[in-house]
Amino acid sequence: MEDRKSLPFTDAVLHEIQRLIDIVPMNIPHYALQDISFRGYTIPKDTIIIPLLHSVLREEKQWETPWSFNPQHFLDQKGNFKKNQAFLPFSAGKRACVGEFLARMELFLILTSLLQRFTFSCPGGPNSVDLSPEYSSFANLPRRYDVIATPRR
């Protein structure tokens, strides 16, 4: 995990994959603990609120190219990794995923291990990949692809 600091582009790619794929676009339901005024509307106490994380991960004011894969969203002018407060694939606050740290660590270790050992390609070339998800009732699922993993020597 110490190598993560010296691999800002890899870290940026991982973050951008999570932002763009948006696997669980809706958060778990919450209750309003008190009457809330939000953008001119009143939300009464005990109203069920289902936060739409998708809206934050695609917010045009937060992301230069919200609908495109762009690791530059997480890199500063010098190529160093930078955080973005609108990056919330694991939710936020008290209801944030308790396994977030472990998941981030595993994603980094698995991806870097695979990239060290294999070169990846697809039969139709990179432009044949459709990045739009397949939608289910609860989640955005990645599409199935044929991938060629060629061992590195």
Would you state the pLDDT for residue 81?
94
Cα–Cα distance for residue pair 5/28, rounded to 1 Å: 32
Burial string for 41-74 (b: 16+ CB within 10 Å, else e) reads eeeeeeeeeebebeebbbeeeebeebeeebbebb
Q: What is the pLDDT along the chain (153 residues), one digit of tens a residue?
A: 888 889 999 999 999 988 888 777 777 788 899 999 988 999 999 999 888 878 888 889 999 999 889 999 999 999 999 999 888 888 777 777 888 889 899 999 999 999 999 999 999 998 888 877 777 667 777 788 899 999 998
Identify the three-state secondary structure at position 69: coil
Please state whether the predicted TM-score (pTM) of the whole model is above 0.85: no
Cα–Cα distance for residue pair 96/86, rounded to 1 Å: 14
How is residue 135 written in tokens?
A: 């939608």
Would you state the pLDDT for residue 144?
85
Would you state the pLDDT for residue 110?
95
Are 104 and 83 spatial neighbours (Cβ–Cβ below 8 Å)? Answer: no
